[in-house]
Structure 1
Amino acid sequence: MRYSALRVIKEALTGHKGWTPAWRDVAPQAHYDYIVIGGGGHGLATAYYLARNHGAKRVAVLEKGWIGGGNVGRNTTIIRSNYLLDGNEPFYEHSLKLWEGLEQDLNYNAMVSQRGILNLIHSDAQRDAFTRRGNAMILNGADADLLSTKTIQKRYPFLNVDNARFPIKGGLAQHRGGTVRHDAVAWGYARAADQLGVDIIQNCEVTGFRIEGGACLGVDTSRGYIAGGKIAACVAGSSGRLMSKAGMRLPIESHVL
């Protein structure tokens, strides 16, 4: 089913009887070529692009809860590419370009809103830092706009530029930045991945890994053992806890935001 304004009108006039589930409710198969652990934005995007860009056929996403109910369940996030380092800026600029076409690609309203992002400058040191950042953005092909106090006062009259504690001395704006709704992103990717044949298996927690001769053969789950050719861990802040089940201690630490 393709979503459109005409479809919404038709369903409204016919008692909303034509809507179908956004994705299938499937039981896990015994074996997949690719198993993606984690049904958040990262895991579902991994499965979707595996199927769409690389032609992968037997792909499963395992989610311990329900789609949109984990860390991806936060209401909004900032989308931007206002980074300083050469290793970061091109990565996030490519990501921002994906955001800009995401809703058309998925045929789903992820509430992408490019309302812009403004970082305020409150000190001379911050001005130097944001000037460097803005120049790095421009050198990497991203949009950056260094604003004066006068311009900020004109564009955003609700801001008190003369605040005694935090006077506004300028700002760095990226007008293509904005916000998006996290759980809607997950639902959109889940729906699009399902249409490409990806099995999305909810309430399926990975409890262990079957490893022989240094190779991972599959995963033990709350719904039984599932064999896999390649296995991806896309569980964000739970990465360390999950990979400890495979005997791996990751050099990362999770922080609650």
Structure 2
Amino acid sequence: MLPAFLPTGLLKYGLRKKYPAFRYIPGPSELKSHYDVVIIGGGGHALACAYYLARNHGITNVCVLERGYLAGGNTARNTAIIRSNYLTPEGVKFYEESLRLYRDLSQDLDFNILYSERGHFTLAHTDAAMRTSRWRAEVNKHLGVDSELIYPDDIAKLCPSLNMSEDVRYPILGALYHPPGSIARHDAVAWGYAARASQMGVEIHQQTGVTGLVIEGGKVKGVETTRGRIGAGQVMQAVAGMTSVVADMAGFKLPIRTIPLQACVSVPLKPFLDQIIVSGSLHVYVSQSSRGELVMGGSTDPYGLYSTRSTLDFKEGLLGHMLELLPMLGEVKILRQWAGMADMTPDFSPVMGLTPVENYYIDSGWGTWGFKATPVCGKTMAYTIANNKPHALIKPFSYERFLTYSQVGEKGAASVGH
């Protein structure tokens, strides 16, 4: 017997012999012999770059190569937090532009990314953390970003679920409050970019691994794939945790180490946590999804490893601190746990733009903050490829900064995996 609440439209759709569903992303096709731009990687950054190349610069002879499935790497393994309350002027300007793009992204792509502003709280448990929060707040306000240091009374009013007791190991002394802090559906961001890029002529090839690069006279000429060689006028890599491996194919080294970053979600609960809670001292962050799950994570693992395995040690350490902040969760069960591969730079900032190989570009070094930068990375990398010069927002993140000791130190704003 069919349930009484089954919509009539859904019933008619299910009983049809032919389904009129619109296919957002075209099915598999043959590779062409040459493309103007080849993008290695099929995650959010790569797809956003392909979209902005087509929309903003009219470059549509573009090929996106993904060795697995669409957005199946770190895009599928992050915790979907969006914010711009960073520490350095370079970082704040960059992420504020990304947040601005996110606000209108559902309308821009005509694809619901489930964008939801929650308010982002970075808790301070020590005098040092309070000083850093005050510093960040002043930098943020100077650059027009909504961010301020607040104290326990205000925290209790804005986030009544938090345990504000002083009879705990790490009492909450204050917080950096960032009202625009948001979450979005990470898969939907990638799917929306992929759908619109495909409609404008971009080709997306899944299950197509890159095995090498064709470089002649210091200039990239093509890409070797598991389906044969293809010529390329320009090539960009956006491969997250595999950054160093692909850069090695191009013949240059990066100051990056790859380490696992783990996260987990609880079983769905009734909505009670509207805010995004982060504690750098406890290495904890948590938000509640639209489905009611608590999305939780912490710091990166303390050793380099090319792996996406989960560990009991991570879960035990994370949940011990979670119960100090939200003790009512003692009986709540964990639903699933996963890991991604974070490509960490010494200064906790990305590496973007031109490389030592002519016409070869890089979007890397995203560590624990890649999802929130998806739109701005796509927009600025598309500009960089189209004009063969770095966009103003990414000049501070150039490859050369490690040679000139001009690093952009963001560790004070990115010391927790978020």
TM-score by shorter chain over 0.5: yes
3-state DSSP of counterpart to 1:118: strand
Q: Per-residue displacement from partner, 1:208-247 (whole Å, max 9, x unpaired)?
A: 0111111111001011111110001111111110121222
1:4 is aligned to none
Query: Shift of residue 75 of structure 1?
Result: 5.6
Aligned-residue RMSD, C-alpha: 1.6
Amino acid at match of 1:18: P
Question: Is 1:123–2:121 an aligned residue pair?
Answer: no
Q: How many residues align?
A: 249
Aligned partner of 1:31 among 31, 34, 37 = 34
Are 1:53 and 2:63 matched, yes or no?
Answer: no
Among residues 199, 202, 210, which one is paired with 2:206 in the alignment?
A: 202
- Residue of structure 1 equivalent to 2:313: none
Q: Alpha carbons of 1:10 and 1:81: their partners in 2 closer, same or farther (altered >3 Å)?
A: farther
Conserved in 2, the CA contact under 8 Å of 1:74 and 1:183?
no
Secondary structure at the counterpart of residue 249 of structure 1: coil
Cα distance between partner residues in 2 of 1:57 and 1:180: 27
Check the 8 A contact 1:84/1:133 in 2, yes or no.
Answer: yes
Change (3 A) 1:11 1:192: farther
Q: 1:13 and 1:53, CA in 2 relative to 1: closer, same or farther beyond 3 A? A: farther
Indicate the structure whose relative CO is greater, using CA pairs within 8 Å and at least 6 residues apart. Answer: 1
CA 220–10 in structure 1, closer or farther in 2 if over 3 Å, else same = farther
Partner of 1:41: 44
Please list every run of 5 or more consecutive structure 1 residues that lacks an aligned counterpart in the other structure: 1-8
Q: Does 1:21 align with 2:19?
A: no
- What amino acid does structure 1 have at the position aligned with 2:145? A
Give distance in 1, aligned partners of 2:224 and 2:190.
Answer: 24
Using the TM superposition, give the Cα deviation of residue 255 of structure 1 relative to its aligned residue in structure 2, in angstroms: 2.2
- Partner of 1:5 in structure 2? none
Alpha-carbon distance in structure 1 between the residues aligned to 2:211 and 2:44: 21
Alignment partners' CA distance in 1, 2:156 and 2:225: 56
Moved runs in structure 1, 4+ residues, more than 6 A? none
Please show how residues 130-141 of structure 1 align to structure 2 within 5 Å: 130-141=133-144
Quick check: 80-89 or 123-132, which moved more? 123-132
Code of the residue aligned with 2:115 in structure 1: it is V
After TM superposition, the structure 1 stretch with the greater mean CA deviation from structure 2, 195-204 or 146-155, is 146-155
The TM-score with structure 2 as length reference comes to 0.57
Task: Measure the CA separation in 2 of the matches of 1:133 and 1:223.
Answer: 49
Match of 1:249 among 250, 253, 261: 253
Question: 1:157 & 1:65 partners in 2: Cα distance?
Answer: 43
Q: Cα deviations across residues 168-211 of structure 1 (Å, max 9, x unaligned)? A: 11111111111122222111111011011100011110000111
Helix, strand or coil: the match of 2:13? coil
Question: Identical aligned pairs, as a percentage?
Answer: 45
**Counterpart of 1:255 in 2: which secondary structure?**
strand
Q: Distance in 2 between matches of 1:48 and 1:10?
A: 36
Match runs of 1:1-257 below 5 Å: 12=10, 14-15=12-13, 17-25=19-27, 26-74=29-77, 76-163=79-166, 164-257=168-261
Deviating more after overlay: 74-83 vs 27-36: 74-83
| 1:124, distance to aligned residue in structure 2 (A) | 2.0
Deviation at 1:250, TM superposition (A): 1.9
